[in-house]
Each structure stands twice: as structure tokens, then as C-alpha cells.
Amino acid sequence: MKDICIPIPKFEENQIAEVEVTVNGKKRKFNYRIDSFAWAPDDKNGENVDISVVEAKITKLKNSIESYDSKWQLVQIYTPTPGSEYIQVLFRQISE
């Protein structure tokens, strides 16, 4: 099945959105969650940042995602704005 992009206004971190879709007369329900993980701001707002600092952030994020609740599947990692303290990640609940 192809993905459909549905903008949801004012969808904040740690909330769950329930989406019900009808395809060929058959209803399907999906749950999505946006979660935030620590993403220490760069001292220089992203300019000339030491690559080891970036690698450490990515490793920490990777470990957080790998240890996340296994009932939720990674969908998207959003690009943090310069100076952000958190990075947001979108998950979809796996159907049983």
C-alpha cells in the first residue's frame, strides 16, 4: 500500500492520532505518534560543528529509537531547526 500524507494541525509531541481510512469499501485504522528525543543544541547553530558532536547525537538518537516500544514502527525523523533541544520522530503503531 502506498503512503498518504495527511496534515494534522496542532499535532503536538507525545500525542496519538487515530486515522481511519476506507479503501475499496474496507475500513482500516492506523495510529500515529510523534515523540521527542533530546537533541542538544549546537554551540554555533549548526555552523562548523565538530563531526564527532554530530555523530554522538546521531548515535544517541539511534539508540533511543532502537529501544523504543516495539509496538511502534519508525516512519519519519524530522529535521531539527538550528539550536533545537529536541528532535521529533513519527511512529506508526503496528497492527496485530
Q: How far is CA 89 from CA 22, 30, 47, in A?
A: 26, 17, 23
Give 29-50 pLDDT, tens digit per residue.
888 888 889 887 665 555 666 7
For residues 37 and 64, is the Cβ–Cβ distance under 8 A?
yes
Is there a domain that residue 1 lies in? Answer: no
Is there a domain that residue 8 lies in? Answer: no
Q: Kindly state the percentage of the chain with pLDDT values over 70.
A: 84
Is there a domain that residue 42 lies in? Answer: yes
Is there a domain that residue 76 lies in? Answer: yes
pLDDT, average across residues 89-95:
87
Question: b/e string for 10-36 if b means 16 or more Cβ within 10 A?
Answer: eeeeeeeeeeeeeeeeeeeeeebbbbb
Beta strands in the chain (DSSP E): 15-23, 26-38, 72-77, 86-93
Is there a domain that residue 85 lies in? Answer: yes
When divided into structural domains, the chain yields a total of 1
Is there a domain that residue 47 lies in? Answer: yes
pLDDT at 23 over 70: yes
* Predicted structure pTM score: 0.75
SS3 (DSSP) at 21: strand
For the chain, the straight-line distance linking the first and the last C-alpha, in angstroms and rounded, comes to 17
Q: Which domain holds residue 26?
A: 15-93
Is there a domain that residue 4 lies in? Answer: no
Is there a domain that residue 6 lies in? Answer: no
